[in-house]
Amino acid sequence: MALLSVDELSITFTGRGRRDIKAVSGVSFDVDQGQVVGLVGESGCGKSVTSLALMGLLPDRGVRLGGRAEFDGGDLLTMSQSRLRDLRGSQIAMIFQDPLSSLNPVVPIGVQVTEILSRHRGLKGAAARKEAAHLLDRVGIPDPTRRLKEYPHQLSGGMRQRALIAMAVACAPRLLIADEPTTALDVTIQAQILELLKELVDEEGTALLMITHDLGVVAGLCDEVNVLYAGKVVESAGRRALFEAPTHPYAHGLLGSIPRLDAPRGEPLKPIRGSINDRIDWADGCAFAPRCDSYTLECLSGAVELTEPREPAHHVRCVNPVLPAADVVGADVADADVADAADAAGADVADAADVASESPVAAAKKTEAPS
């Protein structure tokens, strides 16, 4: 039995006088003890909403949840708020994307760390402060006792994210959800933070649900990967299987759009055309069809189910998957080079993060995010 087992999760935003918006529908995945599972997709694909739903942090009104999310014998989606409050911070913790806005600007770092210690571990006063200093030290913040008295604006971006991580791991949670923990950071800092997360996961055996748009992060960290598009899993596989043989045209395109140093000079990048707004309803066919190079009429006639066209446990939601025989565009992409690149990235996170930061998706994200 997996630690977290998400089954047919659906999240619908309902508004008065507006059409319901299906943010996520029929998403299923498992996270085991000590495992790192990636949830990958571009902004707007429903990955952050999924994490908030698991934490019980979506507003009560205007949101309809469906499916189950089993954790520790309970369903996170239907659990009472008071039980969720007991779980949050102690069993499940979360790290957010923007460390500056995620920290309370008028409360010292120390208080923001000790409040979780006193809530879940009953530590008070000097004991709590000592433990908080220890935590800051553990996530690599120098001079922790002084930092405890400082405010978020006095810390650098990397420090802030470290402080947030310290809060998340304060009660040794069994599941850690990280929602784009490195997106708002400089590339060099990104690598350090990923290294830290990897360390913590390895030492504590914590399960990590990594939400990212950054394939470099996936390559460096994740055991299992779920690629999301428009609120549905379009491909799910082990890391190696995905990087060696991306089978859904979207996953295939994502990998193909990463610039590579070993590509011949003058060869153009292969971006995925259009944006996530060019989509159709999943009930009518494949939502990716408007951006797909190889869609057929079959793609547009009714819902597409997950299948295993290549090998067991490699699920793909596509009528015309990119298979070795039918491989037209991706012949040079799905070859061993990528797998090597992925391996190299896995060995050295800094490299991977570097590569990914150049990817169009990442670049687009950066210009979008107000600094």
Partner 1 sequence: MSTKTDKIDRLAELTAQSETSTGSSLWVEAMRRLRASKMAVIGGCIIGMFVILAVLGPWVAPYDPTAQLWRGEVRTNQGIFIGMRGENWFGLDHLARDQFSRILVGARQTLLVGIVSTLLGLAIGALIGTVSGAAATLGGKVGGRIDSVIMRFIDMMLALPSLLLAVSIAAMLGQSITTVMIAVGVVQIPIFARLLRGSMLAQGGSDYVLATRALGVRRRRIVLAHIVPNSLSPVIVQTTLSLATAIIEAAALSYLGLGNPDAAVPEWGVMLAQSQKYFDQAPMLAVYPALGIIITALGFTLLGEAMREALDPKLRS
Partner 2 sequence: MLRLVVRRLLQLIPTLLGLSVLLFVWLNRLPGGPAAAMLGERASEADVRQIEAALGLDQPWYVQYGRFLKRLVQLDLGTSSQTGQPVWDEFALRFPATVELGLAAILLAVLVGVPLGYFAARRRGGWLDVAAVSGSLLGICIPVFFLAFLLRAVFAVELGWFPSFGRLSTGMDATEVTGFYVLDGVLTGEFDAAWDALSHLMLPAVALSSIPLAVIVRMTRASVLEVLGEDYVRTAESKGLHQRVVRGRHVLRNALLPVVTAVGLLTGSLLSGAVLTESVFAFGGIGSFLKTGIDGRDYPVLVGFILFIALVFVVINLLVDLAYSLIDPRVRVR
In the complex, the residues that contact partner 2 under the rule CB under 8 A are 52, 55, 57, 84-90, 93-94, 96, 98, 101-108, 111, 115-116, 119-120, 151, 153-154, 164, 167
Does 16 sit near partner 1 (CB under 8 A)? no
- Using the contact rule CB under 8 A, the part of the chain among 73-81, 134-142, 155-163, 295-303 near partner 1 is 295-303
Q: Can you tell me the distance from the alpha carbon of 142 to that of 15, in angstroms, rounded to the nearest whole number?
A: 47
Residue 281 interface partner, choices partner 2, partner 1, none, CB cut-off 5-8 Å depending on type: partner 1
Q: How many Å separate Cα 112 from the centre of its chain?
A: 24
Kindly tell me which of 120 and 239 has the beta carbon lying closer to partner 2.
Answer: 120
Does 234 sit near partner 1 (CB under 8 A)? no
**In the complex, what is the shortest distance from the CB of residue 175 to partner 1, in angstroms, rounded to a whole number?**
32
Q: Which of residues 95, 242, 272, 289 is near partner 1 by CB under 8 A? A: 289
Q: Strand locations in the chain, DSSP E?
A: 4-13, 21-31, 36-40, 63-71, 74-75, 92-95, 175-179, 207-212, 224-229, 232-238, 315-316
**Among candidates 303, 313, 265, which has minimal Cα distance to 281?**
303
Taking CA 356 as the corner, what is the angle to CA 243 and CA 206, rounded to the nearest 5 degrees? 70
Q: Which of residues 153, 296, 302, 324 is near partner 1 by CB under 8 A? A: 296
Kindly tell me which of 231 and 246 has the beta carbon lying closer to partner 1.
Answer: 231
Q: Can you tell me the distance from the alpha carbon of 284 to that of 49, in angstroms, rounded to the nearest whole number?
A: 23
**In the complex, what is the shortest distance from the CB of residue 52 to partner 1, in angstroms, rounded to a whole number?**
17
**In the complex, what is the shortest distance from the CB of residue 200 to partner 1, in angstroms, rounded to a whole number?**
36
The dihedral sign for the CA sequence 196, 216, 157, 169: negative
- Using the contact rule CB under 8 A, the part of the chain among 173-181, 284-292, 312-320, 326-334 near partner 1 is 284-292
Q: Can you tell me the distance from the alpha carbon of 69 to that of 53, in angstroms, rounded to the nearest whole number?
A: 9
The count of other CB atoms within 10 Å of the CB of residue 317 is: 25
Does 144 sit near partner 1 (CB under 8 A)? no
Q: Which residues bind partner 1 (CB under 8 A)?
A: 19, 21, 277-281, 284-285, 289-290, 295-297, 300
